[in-house]
Amino acid sequence: MQQEYMTTGEAALILGISGPRVRQLCDDGRLEHLDTPLGRLVRRESVLRLAAERQRDPAVQRWERRKRRFSR
């Protein structure tokens, strides 16, 4: 069974962004999360939804192409 929550680090890897940016998205209400004594846990469904939105965003697509071109 797939876990309902993931760490901010796991969310960052899926989204291709930094951990601090994931925390900022949580603070802004764009990602559903739980605050625990050991840190935040981000709702998996929320991360996957945002990842799908990012794939459809033309600005993100341009940025990803640029990143690939310069990382060779």
- How many distinct structural domains can be found in the chain? 1
The C-alpha atoms of residue 68 and residue 60 are separated, in whole angstroms, by 12
Question: Which helix H or strand E contains 67, and what residues bound it?
Answer: helix 58-70
Contacts of 70 (CB under 8 A, 6+ apart): none
pLDDT confidence of residue 47: 95
> Mind listing the pLDDT tens digit for each residue in 10-42?
999 999 899 999 999 999 999 999 999 999 999
- What is the percent of the chain where pLDDT is above 70? 75
